[in-house]
Chains A and B, each alone.
Chain A
Amino acid sequence: MRCTDACVYPFPLGDSSVRRMAQEAGELGFDSIVAVGARRCIFRGVEVVSGTVIQGTDQGEVQAALRKLGGDPGIVMATAGDYALNRALLHTSRVRILRGIHATPRNSFDHILSRIAAERQVAVDIDLSILVSGRDYARQRALQRYADLTRLQSRVGFPLTLSSGARSILQMKSTRDIFALCSIFGMDEDGVEGAFLGIANALCPEKAVEVVE
């Protein structure tokens, strides 16, 4: 898993089946995708990792949503909110990715939460769909937040992931497109390549001590 689209929504959440999305992802240069609501499988050489997005306005709602999850929810992604919620999410052991950071207040993810994310190896997702479908203020705000995240990540080193947030194969982006879109908010090629590895790191986080036989 060297190049992963961190979040797509296949049928019935979108208009494309998970197989078609996997095939399209392979043609666009990815070797794996995280599909919300899909089962883990490999289709035409592209690994499909199941994912679950949970949303809550406070910690109680998030915990309730986590309790409702079935046996194998795959990668659990949580929608970010205000500072207190983000802090709680980072301390929740099952949450691997923080999503939707572009829609949160500017002070909701600062250098302190960045350090916590780096320590706990919780990734922060950069959703590129807002750069494509958004216009005017929404897109400007997302660009500011992503530029801020990129700066924080280069200093603190928490994991980043990149997702197309696609609900259709027409919304999926190639790796070439993602490099170009990320250059708008100042993420360089090394940063993008590192973010493509974010899901692999989330699945197999680095341990403080690892026994190698």
Chain B
Amino acid sequence: MKPRPPTMRGKRRYILARLDPPSVTFSGRDLYYAIAESLTSLYGDSGMACIEPSVVSCTGGYAIIRCTRSTEGRVVAGLAAVHQVQEVSVAVRSIRTSGTMRSLRRHLAGMGPGAPLGEQDAYFQGRSWTGVQYPGGKVDLFEKGFKNQQPLFLTEEDLEE
């Protein structure tokens, strides 16, 4: 089949979003379901059909979401309303909107790494924790011996006190 010429294709917009906390990993499909649920509950089925959202990539704590042109504001609102993916608390923070994926990837390459710097044992509130350090003096604490518990979000200054 002959591909449709570019001038006759629907115009798209691409939204770069950061996924917090970086320690949580999930697939693009899980993220799509969360975004679709959020957009459907906000704008209904007809709105969702107009938006045509799609998760283009979801790696390294960042995601690129595609939508039709002029609906990007709705998608940003829908992303802000996502608070759980697969029953895990997350934040999807939209960073930038663009007409091409290339410019988003260029922007992403210029951003600092969000990967953890390392792990250390920490003692906080009279209990032992595993601390995951991130750039900027951020520390996420996970209590030892418990599975699937909610972490604490602190800074190095909090642990020094």
User: In the complex, what distance in Å separates the CA atom of A29 from the CA atom of B79?
Assistant: 17
Tell yes or no: A69 within 8 A of B by CB: no
Tell yes or no: B41 within 8 A of A by CB: yes
User: In the complex, what distance in Å separates the CA atom of A116 from the CA atom of B151?
Assistant: 44
Tell yes or no: A13 within 8 A of B by CB: no
* A168 in contact with B81 given A23-B136, A184-B42 (CB within 8 Å): no
Q: Name B155's closest neighbour in chain A (CB-CB).
A: A19
Which of under 10, 10 to 19, 20 to 34, or 35 or more describes the interface residues of B? Answer: 20 to 34
List chain B residues, Cβ under 8 A from A136: 41
Interface size on A, residues (CB 8 A): 28
Contact A177 B152 (CB under 8 A): no
User: In the complex, what distance in Å separates the CA atom of A169 from the CA atom of B141?
Assistant: 13
Contact B20 A170 (CB under 8 A): yes
Tell yes or no: B52 within 8 A of A by CB: no
Contact B150 A15 (CB under 8 A): yes
User: In the complex, what distance in Å separates the CA atom of A11 from the CA atom of B158?
Assistant: 11
Tell yes or no: A171 within 8 A of B by CB: yes
Contact A180 B83 (CB under 8 A): no
* A181 in contact with B153 given A20-B138, A170-B20 (CB within 8 Å): no
Tell yes or no: A176 within 8 A of B by CB: yes
Tell yes or no: A172 within 8 A of B by CB: yes
Contact A172 B91 (CB under 8 A): yes
Least distance between B51 CB and chain A CB atoms (Å): 13
List chain B residues, Cβ under 8 A from A181: 77, 80-81
User: In the complex, what distance in Å separates the CA atom of A17 from the CA atom of B124?
Assistant: 12
List chain A residues, Cβ under 8 A from B95: 176
Contact B80 A15 (CB under 8 A): no
List chain A residues, Cβ under 8 A from B158: 17, 19-20
Q: Name A169's closest neighbour in chain B (CB-CB).
A: B153
Tell yes or no: B76 within 8 A of A by CB: yes
Least distance between B149 CB and chain A CB atoms (Å): 10
Least distance between B34 CB and chain A CB atoms (Å): 12
Contact check: which of A23, A132, A174 meets B155 at CB < 8 Å?
Answer: A23
Tell yes or no: A16 within 8 A of B by CB: yes
5 tightest A-B CB contacts, nearest first: A177-B80, A180-B77, A16-B153, A180-B76, A170-B91
**New A-B pairs, 7, CB < 8 Å, besides A176-B76, A180-B77:** A15-B152, A23-B138, A132-B81, A132-B83, A133-B83, A169-B20, A174-B94
Q: Mind listing 19 A-B residue pairs with CB under 8 Å?
A: A15-B151, A17-B152, A17-B153, A19-B158, A20-B153, A20-B158, A23-B155, A132-B81, A135-B41, A169-B91, A170-B90, A172-B91, A173-B80, A177-B77, A177-B80, A180-B73, A181-B77, A181-B81, A184-B77
